[in-house]
Amino acid sequence: MWGTALAIAWARAGHQVALWGHTPSKMAELAATRHHPRLNGSELPPNLHPMSDPTAAFMAPLWISSIATQASPDAWTALRAQAPNWTAQTPDVLLHTSKGILADSHQCLSEALEPLLGIPVGVLSGPTFADEVARNLPSAMVMALPFSVSDERARVLQHNLATEHLRIYLSRDVAGVELCGALKNILAIAAGLVEALGLGHNARAALITRGLAEIARLVAAMGGQPDTVMGLAGMGDLLLTATGPQSRNRRLGAYLAEGKTMAEAQELMGGQVMEGASTTQAALALGLQWGVEMPITGEVARLLDGADPKEAVGRLMKRSLKSE
């Protein structure tokens, strides 16, 4: 859905866009109906071309990956095997829009995909809901690129991806942007819990603020920048995901607070991917590795394992007092 929303935005801005998906039946439906069922009727422009065969997509000068985090390495391994001449076809950079940490390796996607693909990998992230981007509502994102991409190329990409309705800000903090995007999903689960338990706006504000501090500690420990945490990828995305009604992770927390199981919550949300659930344990492992205390993430992990929601809140409130 997110990849389709971005494709719509860029096609409306005049670009020719090839939209590849791994499920032939869904791509055929998109090509026939010119509508995505979850994008509130937004129509696919004529210069957006859905396809299940990636051959034409490989010819594009820029690749943008919107595959779920946990599925991305295997998906790109399979795609690489389908490319008849990988070295000649690869662009000079790949951008991904996924927001998670790999469960097995505890890597961000740029770390996993760069050696796999042999090209620099950057990330697009920020406070954006897919349906609003598809409807041309004003939005802003940050594009983080590694230093192996030249400043001139970075400016060209920024200019090409920005539209009248989508502002693109440039960053070099790839790891920081990726970590912010992953961790805010975990905190959104906690925000949904607070809301569903009726704990009030004070509790939600405190959770968001202390959650931001939790993100900042891990980002700093892993070499990220404070400006990233306080910008679109950090504070901006956390505020949206922790309060916005479209947030899947926030809804997951609400369902768990109501006593529903993970399986029941996933069924209620139509089987949509909730990156926060699959990222929580990996985030805790990174916290342990880097010596960073992550109490909210720890309680979300317990909640996902079936812990009592009210007890999770109680444990956070009873932690030893300390300076901010």
Q: Could you list the active site residues? A: 184
Contact indicator for 51, 57 with CB cutoff of 8 Å: yes
Q: What's the CA gap between 130 and 123, in Å, rounded?
A: 16
SS3 19: strand
The widest CA-to-CA distance across the chain, in whole angstroms, is 60
Indicate the residue type of 261: T
Q: What's the CA gap between 91 and 170, in Å, rounded?
A: 19
Residue 224 is classified by DSSP as -
Q: How far is CA 86 from CA 76, 215, 270, 283, in A?
A: 12, 37, 36, 33
String of DSSP letters for 121-149: EEEEESS--HHHHHTT--EEEEEE--TTS
Q: What's the CA gap between 55 and 60, in Å, rounded?
A: 10
Indicate the residue type of 281: Q
Q: What is the CA radius of gyration of the chain?
A: 20
CA 241, chain centre distance (Å): 10
Residue of 101, 269, 110, 310 lying closest to 186 (CA atoms): 101
Q: What's the CA gap between 294 and 84, in Å, rounded?
A: 45
User: How far does the chain reach from its first CA to its final CA, in angstroms?
Assistant: 39
Contact indicator for 116, 297 with CB cutoff of 8 Å: no
